[in-house]
Structure 1
Amino acid sequence: MIVSGSSSQAVAAALARELEEPLAAVEYDRFPDGELLAAAPDVADRDVERAIVVASTTSSDAHLEVLQLQDAVREAGADEVVTVLPYMGYGRQDKAFEAGHPISARAVARAVSTGTDRVLTVNPHEESICDFFEPSATAIDAADRLANPLPADLEDPVFLSPDAGAVELAETVRDAYGAGATDYFEKTRLSGTEVEISPSDVAVADRDVVVTDDIIATGSTMSEAVGVLGERGVGRVFVTCVHPLLARDAVTKLSRAGVEAIYGTDTIERQYSAVSVAPSIADEL
């Protein structure tokens, strides 16, 4: 049975269809004092061997929902609890930034691990965070799904990642699309909010470019990269990402930089969630 957190209802429904498993009715409530309640009464009414909790932890409330739903399905008698985090919040806080700071990804992983038998997460920013779970979480690569919504008529395309660390993701999207070159920008992080982009040597004049990353948060780095492409006479520019967080004015920044379209998956459910990661998750389950 599939049990959905409130932030992941579309991907949970898609996963239920992929696996041909029932989708549980889930209740989300808030008490007058502000405390949350997430419950799955359907599970209690059935003899459930495996309950799959599907919830992107896009907020602190979403993290708490995961813990409550895990406990609810276990309390209802589920023999096995599997937790799917399409997007794991706090996943980029994988180290202590300075003395006295927590490793937040580890703290969150430890909490989630207490209520589940298995954890899966999609394209974590650093795959090493999977080791924070007990037992280790399984990382699912759904980047190939990003090729699906791209136009079929890309002109001599270049699949470009914002830094060397993400070039494999660009290669995955290129391979799934079936044509094109790959390259990347040099990215130097100057502070927690400031990043410097240095152009690569790739020729982009009159070529369509697909800029690919695992996550777009504020859009600052991506829009700066796109701006460099514009100075080189690029053709059309499309932006793809697995996790379309798109916080604050990210969409405006990208549009002003010249991006024609933004395509993301449903790990974070946004207007730009053009493709589902449910098939990739189903393959692992």
Structure 2
Amino acid sequence: MQSQLLYFDDERAAALRLAEASGLAAAAVERHRFPDDELRLRLPLGEGEAIAEQLVIYRGLDHPNEKLVELLLIAGEARRLGARRLILVTPYLAYMRQDIAFNPGEVVSQRVLGQLLASQFDGLITVDPHLHRVATLQEAVPLEDAVTLCAAPALARLIAERHPDALLIGPDAEALQWIEAAAVEHGFEHGVCNKVRHGSPGRHRTAGAGVCRAPCSAAR
């Protein structure tokens, strides 16, 4: 199956590194913004050129709203032109934190966005998504080929090279899984903080917790 990686110019460097590592040909999506902020996108096709059967689309979903529109437009046009398989590679997967309705009428964005992406793409690859109340990415994005990668080992190697005596601190108990994964291979001291929320958005208190020497027996 012929494959191609598509990217946007603001993520060119990372996308080209991925293309080199995976052996995929890469090309940029042309993007024009109208005065009213609507977008005109153009897939990288010449006159009479057929689209690749499989497209790998690289788009991080930080500041996600406009980027989600881009993905919907690209996916729809790619399907129309004959693409058979669309894979989304998104280092950050947005809208995963709202995984339950705390008040009547609150939108569970994880469920809504997951269904939307599953309706447009055949596969998804992301890094350490926010999965607090679900066990697997497939529960949030119902795709058989929904893959979660963990960045902790790679980050730990980088830290070990630059700061071999580093102390790793996570912001809350939920971060322990990543802090431990990063710490255990290199013997870093590590710990997490206790976070208390007080209701208003953006208002919380974080207090230091005890530091463990890897492996952290208190967390086993």
TM-score by length of 1: 0.63
Instruction: Name the counterpart of 1:115.
Output: 120
TM-fit CA distance, 1:9: 2.8
Distance 1:38 1:96, change over 3 A: farther
Q: Answer yes or no: is 1:181 the counterpart of 2:189.
A: yes
Q: 1:101 aligns with which of 95, 102, 106?
A: 106
Q: Answer yes or no: is 1:168 the counterpart of 2:177.
A: yes
Q: Answer yes or no: is 1:11 the counterpart of 2:14.
A: yes
TM-score by length of 2: 0.80
Instruction: Give per-residue Cα distances to partners, 1:27-66, cap 9 Å, x unaligned.
Output: 1122344322333133972452321111112231111111
- Equivalent runs, 1:220-231 vs 2, <5 Å: none
Q: SS at the partner of 2:40?
A: strand
Task: Give ranges in structure 2 of 5+ residues lacking alignment.
Answer: 214-220
Q: 2:37 aligns with which of 20, 24, 34?
A: 34
Q: Answer yes or no: is 1:138 the counterpart of 2:143.
A: no
TM-fit CA distance, 1:156: 4.1
Instruction: Give per-residue Cα distances to partners, 1:122-174, cap 9 Å, x unaligned.
Output: 11122637213232532211222212442636464332212221112112222
Instruction: Give per-residue Cα distances to partners, 1:65-91, cap 9 Å, x unaligned.
Output: 111122232223222111112111222
Q: Is 1:25–1:42's contact at 8 Å kept on the other side of the alignment?
A: no
Amino acid at match of 1:158: L
Count of paired positions: 203
Q: Is 2:28–2:44's contact at 8 Å kept on the other side of the alignment?
A: yes
Instruction: Give per-residue Cα distances to partners, 1:155-204, cap 9 Å, x unaligned.
Output: 6433221222111211222245x232222111122223112222223289
Distance 1:180 1:25, change over 3 A: closer
In 1, the alpha carbon distance for the partners of 2:166 and 2:6 equals: 40
Structure 1 runs (4+) deviating above 6 angstroms are: none
Amino acid at match of 1:118: G
Q: Answer yes or no: is 1:190 the counterpart of 2:190.
A: no
Q: Is 2:190–2:212's contact at 8 Å kept on the other side of the alignment?
A: no
Q: Is 2:45–2:51's contact at 8 Å kept on the other side of the alignment?
A: no
In 2, the alpha carbon distance for the partners of 1:132 and 1:152 equals: 35
Task: Give ranges in structure 1 of 5+ residues lacking alignment.
Answer: 205-285
Q: Is 2:189–2:212's contact at 8 Å kept on the other side of the alignment?
A: no
TM-fit CA distance, 1:103: 0.7
Amino acid at match of 1:188: V
In 2, the alpha carbon distance for the partners of 1:66 and 1:50 equals: 15
In 1, the alpha carbon distance for the partners of 2:122 and 2:162 equals: 45
Q: SS at the partner of 1:152?
A: helix
Q: SS at the partner of 1:159?
A: strand
Q: Answer yes or no: is 1:91 the counterpart of 2:96.
A: yes
In 2, the alpha carbon distance for the partners of 1:201 and 1:77 equals: 56
Q: Is 2:6–2:56's contact at 8 Å kept on the other side of the alignment?
A: yes
Give identity over the alignment, percent.
26
Higher RCO structure (Cα 8 Å, ≥6 apart): 1
Instruction: Name the counterpart of 2:218.
Output: none
